[in-house]
Structures are given as structure tokens and as C-alpha cells.
Copies of this chain bind each other. A is one copy, B any other.
Amino acid sequence: MIIIMKEAATKQDIDAVEKKLTDIGFQTHPIYGEKKTVIGAIGDKRQISMNEILLMNAVENVVPIMRPYKLVSKELIKEKSVIDAGYGVTIGGKQLAVFAGPCAVESREHFLKMARLVKASGANILRGGAFKPRTSPYSFGGLEGEGLKIMREAGDELDMPICTEVMDTRDVELVAQYADIIQIGARNMQNFKLLREVGKINKPILLKRGLASTIEEWLMAAEYIMSEGNDDVILCERGIRTYETSTRNTFDLSAIPVTQELSHLPIIADPSHATGAYKYVGPVAKGAIAAGADGLMIEVHDCPECAASDGPQSLKPEKFDELMKEISTIAAAVGRELEI
């Protein structure tokens, strides 16, 4: 790390910092500028060391040199991760991954119908909510265990992996029995206990970016999961909170190339939650694929106006079918594939 001393720092202040650093095992390399002195420190960085130094007299700032994550970093694993979801579907390779289905599992008949339709249009992973995080305690919270069984049945019938969210450490075991990919929702991106639990599971984890999380915090959340031994993390950009109110969130397109620069993990886009409005799902989905995303997660419902949740952002099956055709053309234009 680099310690920047204030202009007003005396020789004593500088000596004290050097002494402290050498005491905890660092080698120090002071550089005396015209106005300020900076001290390079080499050694075993622990987070606490930065604070110890930051609070010393006449220290202006401490700049870390190493990034805080390791396992998710491209510096450690140089090749892009390709994650196996089972049923012949991978995420991160040439083929795009398209997660589709209704926001919530509403009934067996309805979910099977939707599942068949999205598969017919080219989706290769089924999505659906059995446990639903809802802003209001009075809203529909999902079919829970019953929903999981319905999803599993659909996955088996259609020979497709299924992806669903877990919200509570107590439900991880249950969800892992049914799901092929376990989703951590935006509101739980820093539910560290839950991250640790899914890190112990032997199934891919879809990690949504938090409502207002930085890319670094998001990668640190992935690091939590990987630090428990689960290497199969898929990032999902779903829009961040800004002051703009014309969409539910602001889709951060550049998060795609930025995470690809920093990490080996694949990244998909969720234009449904990003925009909150079906009219904008298509343009954002197309933009994400052109920018290099490894896939999409899209909400599809045959009757958005009667959906149990998130109707306004759901595409009707026929719109989804059209969009898959357009995505397929764009995929080809950027060297990717989507079989439809």
C-alpha cells in the first residue's frame, strides 16, 4: 500500500509511520516529493493495517495496491469460466444462455404452459419464483415448496435446467434439492450468511447485482460464495438505483465490459427488472447482447395484466418469440449463437 502524508507532516510524523509499518512486518520505501512525502509499504496487507495507518498523525490517505478480491479475479484465473448448468446447457461459452419464464410460479398448469412456450421460442433455462421478495408484507409471497415441485416437473418434462431464488438460510437445503441454478436476489446480495450457505452447495449460483451496489461490492459478494468452495457463480446485471424515474432502475450497460475486464465469471442481463416496463425490455436485451453479455433473463407471461407479480415488465409469449429471433440475429453479428 501507499501512504500519502499531509504537506504539514514533520519528520517525526513520517518516522512514526515508518516505525509502525516495520513493526508489523512491512518494508517501507519513502519518496520525498517537493511538497508531500509518500511511503510505499510492502508486506502482508490485512484490512486493519490500512486503518491503523490512516488514523496516524499527518497521514492524508492510504491507497491500496491490491484489489480486495482474489478468487473472482482475472489476475488469478485468466480464462473465462464456462459454467455447466446441466442438461447440456453452459453459461459463458459461445452459446447464449436465455433464462425465461414467469416472475412467480402461479400454478402447475400455468407454469407448464409458460415453460413450453419459452422453450419453443429458444429459451434454454427455466426461471420462476417460488419464494418471492415483496416490498409490501401484504403482497403474494410465492407458492414456496409447492412452487419448487412444479418447476422441477417442468424442467424434467422439457429437459431443461431450472433457476429459482432462495431468500433464507433455512431454505437453502430445500431449494438445492429442486433447482439446477440457485438465484441470490438483488436485495440479498450482501446477506453474507446466505452467501456463505450457497457457497457450500454444489450447484451454480446466479448472483444479481444489489440495488445500489458497486461492481467491486458485487465481485466481493461473488468472492464470499467462492471462498466457501463453490466456483460456479454467474453474475447478473439487473439495473441500479439512480435519480431517473422513467424506468424502475437504470441498466448499467458498461457493467458488462467492466466485469469482463476484472473477472473470469460470466455475466448475463436482466432487462425485465432493469426497466420495469415491457416496452423497454427488447431494446435493453438487444443492447446487452451486442455489448457482450453471455445471456439474458426475461420475464414472460401470457396475461401480464393478471400476473401475480411484475406484470408490467413481462413480455407476452409472442413478443418474446419475436425478440428471440432478433436476439439471434444480433448474436450472430457479434460472434455468438442462439438456437431458436
| Chain A residues close to B by CB (< 8 Å) | 2, 4, 6-8, 29, 31-36, 38, 40, 42, 47-48, 51-56, 63, 65-66, 68, 75, 133-139, 141, 167-170, 187-188, 190-196, 210-212, 214-217, 220, 223-224, 227-228, 240-247, 250-258, 261, 274-275, 278-280, 282-284, 286-292, 304-308, 311-312, 326, 329-330, 332-334
Contacts and interface: CB of A to CB of B under 8 A. Distances in A.
A36 B66 contact: yes
> Of residues A32, A33, A139, A170, which shows the largest number of chain B Cβ atoms within 10 Å of its Cβ?
A33
A105 B278 CA distance: 43
Contacts of A7: 75
B334 A286 contact: yes
Contact of A51 (B38, B55, B242, B312): B312
Nearest to A29: B31
Contacts of A193: 167-168, 170
Contact of A287 (B65, B245, B288): B288
Nearest to A212: B212
Contact of A245 (B32, B214, B292): B214
A275 B250 contact: no
Given A51-B305, A133-B190, 5 more contacts: A33-B65, A214-B245, A254-B280, A257-B282, A258-B280
Nearest to A73: B7
A246 B42 contact: no
A133 B79 CA distance: 31
Contacts of A47: 136, 138-139
B287 A134 contact: no
Given A55-B305, A312-B55, A326-B334, A212 B243 contact: yes
A243 B214 contact: yes
A241 B212 contact: yes
A298 to B, nearest CB: 15
Contacts of A29: 29, 31, 40
Q: Lowest 7 CB-CB distances: which A-B pairs, in order?
A: A212-B212, A290-B290, A287-B291, A287-B287, A31-B40, A283-B291, A51-B311
Nearest to A186: B190
B2 A63 contact: yes
Contact of A332 (B36, B65, B257, B333): B333
B38 A40 contact: yes
A47 B134 CA distance: 11
A320 to B, nearest CB: 15
Contact of A244 (B34, B135, B138, B240): B240
Contacts of A334: 286, 326, 329-330
B245 A254 contact: no
